[in-house]
Amino acid sequence: MGNIAGLVPVILFLLVALALSIFARRRSRSGAGFVNDYFIGNRSLGAFVLAMTTIATYGSVSSFVGGPGQAWTIGWGWVYMAAVQVTALFLLYGIMGKKMALVSRKLNAVTVIDVLRARYRSDALAIIAALVIVVFFGTTMIAQFVGGAKLFAAVTGYSYLTGLVLFGLAVIIFTTIGGFRGVAVTDALCGIAMLVGIFVLAGGILHAGGGWDNLMATIERNHPEMMEPLSGGHMPYGLYFTQWLIVGIFTFCLPQSAVRTMGFKDAKSLRHAMVLGTVIIGAMLIGCTALGTMSAGVLTDDIAAYGGSIDNIIPTAIVSTLPPWLAGIAIIGPIAASISTVSSLLIAASSAIIKDIWIHYGQRAGKTASDRAIEVSSQGVTLGIGLIVFVLAVTPPAVIWQINMFAFGGLETAFCWVFLGALFWRRANRYGALLSMVGGTAAYCVCMALGIKFMGLHQITIGLAVSLLLMVVGSLAFRDRESGHLPVFFGDSPRSEP
């Protein structure tokens, strides 16, 4: 029998999230049309909600479970690596924010693929982009479900499947009902819950370890290399470099983050969100990772004593340092991280299928679907994708953070240069974009599958390099004489490419 004291806070949190989602959905019926309301929230997000939904989307269950578990083995070097995540929102809003918002409003674009289709005038690129999004988002969502359910089982004593059913179905339901605005509002709630969870667990670890000085003394006595930036060779410069690329610098081009730059209310909201979000994401993600290193001061046995997986470190820290009722509150943080990521990816994956494929090709064939038909189809697809991912998560994969990193790398490789070319390089064209997305993603996946590396660096360096090279070569070698929407992106008069 599980621990009911740990279960109650989780159920209450899920009920509040469901109520918020329903409330947000009812308020969103503004007359702007179902598609605008459901997939982009009618571009009405204020600074706080914008910052929190972006942070909650970026911070996944891996931030609470896999990353801190790795920090338990590596030490402060892993925390220094995680510090680069402070730049995530600054780069996203600073590089993409204003221009993506201006362009999407002029085009009445609802998804990032709408923007890419208009810029490159390529249906093939739009279809491939939608497939990449669905595949990598699906992979990420499985990792979130697994991480959340494992954590739930370890802390409450109920089974993995019970946890999966409880919060897995809850997030599918409130995402299906709430749409983009519902997701954004519940993300804000999740962001607050994450911060509360971090502070509660930090208090528990400090209390159990006899205070900060005793914790650090224990770690230094057992594993002195964990106090060093390079962790006795376990944290080489190459690992710093590639991890900074994956979880820091190139996160600005993740499509689930980029779509949030299309949903804010005004420039003031964007500026305030940039400052507020940078402070909060720094506290949250550095704090999460630091919890893993701090846990080494209270969980001093070999990894075999904790089930042989680093994913068990934070759940064990929660159970062993907090009373059951407080553990139930602490667990809400990582479960909220899981929920917020799944809900954001779910609505983005649904938009890729409904808006970017079904509605687009219906309109090209001269068929205009009614708002009611679009509403039923959108909610049906959201529900269907969620249930497929849910079923795939019933048999959990091995290590969560590695799955998460694979999906991050794949999405960054596929979209980085295609986004940058669309927004900032006039000469970029459909040929370069197609080659970049297909060639870069294929190179990344093949190298990951075969374990091919360059100078020992993570395979994302190969994917990004191939993707950039193909974008430049394809755009310069093949001319695209149609001007299309270039004036919308570059603010000049239409003209053909030289």
Of residues 34 and 343, the one with the higher pLDDT is 343
Answer yes or no: is 414 within a domain: no
Domain of residue 12, residue span: 4-399
Q: What is the rounded CA–CA span in Å between residue 97 and residue 89?
A: 10
Residue ranges with strand state E in 420-490: none
- Whether 413 maps to a domain, the answer reads no
**CA separation for the pair 313, 306 (Å, rounded):** 7
- pLDDT of 495 > 50? The answer is no
- What is the value of pTM for the model shown? 0.81
In a domain, 438, yes or no: no
DSSP string, 125-194: HHHHHHHHHHHHHHHHHHHHHHHHHHHHHHHH-S-HHHHIIIIIHHHHHHHHHHHHHHHHHHHHHHHHHH
138 in any annotated domain: yes
Residue-wise pLDDT tens digits, 353-393: 887 888 888 777 777 777 778 878 888 888 888 888 888 78
Of 334, 327, 396, which Cα lies nearest the Cα of 155?
Answer: 327
Q: Do residues 36 and 376 touch, judged by C-beta distance below 8 A?
A: no
Q: What is the mean pLDDT of the chain?
A: 83
Q: Of 178 and 478, which is predicted with more confidence?
A: 478
Domain contains 382: yes
The secondary structure of 155-172 as a DSSP string is HH-S-HHHHIIIIIHHHH
At residue 449 the predicted structure's pLDDT band, cuts being 50, 70 and 90, is confident
CATH number, position 60: 1.20.1730.10
Q: Is the dihedral of CA 354, 360, 366, 371 positive or negative?
A: positive
Residue 496: its pLDDT value, please? 41
Count of the separate structural domains present in the chain: 1
Query: Is 150 domain-assigned?
Result: yes
Residue 460 lies in a domain: no
Tokens of residue 410, six digits: 């794949």
Residue 86 lies in a domain: yes
Tell me what the mean pLDDT of segment 444-450 comes to. Answer: 91
Local confidence band at 82 (pLDDT 50, 70, 90 cut-offs): confident
Q: Taking residues 33-44, what's their average pLDDT?
A: 70
Share of the chain above pLDDT 70, in %: 93
Instruction: Give pLDDT, residue 309.
Output: 80
